[in-house]
Structure 1
Amino acid sequence: MIPATKTPVFISFDYDNDAALKDLLVGQAANSRSPFFIADWSIKKATNGWKIDAKRRIQRSRVVIVICGRHTSKAVGVATEIEIAKEVGVRYVLLRGYKDGKIERPGGTSWVFDTMYDWTWDNMRRLTDMRPWWKRIRWA
């Protein structure tokens, strides 16, 4: 059973190039201290109804984590999932998949308005904590 305080997330990633990164994020979500759990992730095969299925999956989430890798700008499915997230009002965050080398932004994102975050435990905790601000205050 998943505690009510954990945030459901949808993972968007380049299936052809970054599936291993998705597996790492799934592993991180399994940690008992993780503030999020994986509600679902990108669909591998683009069938006739995949966009409807993706929309349903994204709507079950509170945050879409977009793993950005070396070829993400060419991943049409990732760009589509971001558009769906915007359409249904689900927040999305860009997560740098690799520490070094060139990392590409997905289509439909902005250099000005869409920050790409480093994949750190603190960032993951902060980016997926959807509690109201008054519940995040730590009293000494």
Structure 2
Amino acid sequence: MTQDTSCGHGPSVQIGQTAVSPEHYDARQQHIESVGSAMPKRVFVSFDYDYDKTLKDFLIGQAKNPDSPFEIHDWSIKEASPDWRQKARARIRASDVVIVICGEHTDEAVGVAIEVRIAQEELIEYFLLNGYSGKNGKKPTTARATDKVYQWTWENLKLLVGGAR
């Protein structure tokens, strides 16, 4: 993060390639702090549309559990369009956390890699969730070497969404 004054509207915070006003950054941080445990966290789900759509549907079902600490709006971008990256960025920016479902082909999923990079640039928390029990989910190419792929259990999921990583 660096300070930049080239936008003409006073200093901005540089996050990756995106300049964000200090007010936007501060408001985002205040929102994150105020959410605490009072409101369910808004989750963006990143997944390989060609192979792991069913897993995303399972996750949406879990979000409906009465003790769920998160909510998922199905923000999947179903059709490729010239502006899908901007749409994904806006949806990720509106989320509290990104859950990345890791399946057998996630390392080849370009869209997932881009969504993880956007989450990193926007400073949105994310974690990697192993999609298939008994198999090793593959990390997206933009995941950090230190990013762990977590086992998908209901108890783990609640802890991970709550920030236990």
Give the TM-score range, shorter chain. 0.7 to 0.9
Matches within 5 A, 1:41-60: 41-60=75-94
CA distance in 1, matches of 2:86, 2:53: 22
CA distance in 2, matches of 1:69, 1:41: 19
Compute the displacement of 1:43 (Å). 1.7
Distance 1:9 1:32, change over 3 A: same
- Range 40-49 or range 100-109, more displaced: 40-49
> Is 1:120 matched up with 2:158?
no
Name which one, 1 or 2, has greater alpha-carbon Rg.
2
Aligned position for 1:108 = 142
Q: Contact conserved, 1:82 with 1:108, CA < 8 A, in 2?
A: yes
Letter in 2 for 1:101: K
TM-score (norm 1): 0.85
CA distance in 2, matches of 1:107, 1:44: 22
Instruction: Give the superposed CA RMSD.
Output: 1.5
Matches within 5 A, 1:71-90: 71-90=105-124
Q: Secondary structure at the match of 1:42?
A: coil
* Deviation readout 1:32-64 (Å, 9 max, x if unpaired): 111100034432322100000000000111100
Aligned position for 1:9 = 43
Compute the displacement of 1:93 (Å). 0.3
**Moved >3 Å (runs of 4+):** 39-42
Aligned match of 2:59 in 22, 25, 29?
25
Q: Contact conserved, 1:40 with 1:57, CA < 8 A, in 2?
A: no
Aligned length: 127
TM-score (norm 2): 0.72
Q: Which has the higher contact order (CA 8 A, sep 6+)?
A: 1
CA distance in 1, matches of 2:50, 2:69: 28
Q: Contact conserved, 1:9 with 1:40, CA < 8 A, in 2?
A: no
Q: Sequence identity of aligned pairs in percent?
A: 50
**Where in structure 2 are there 5+ consecutive unaligned residues?**
1-36
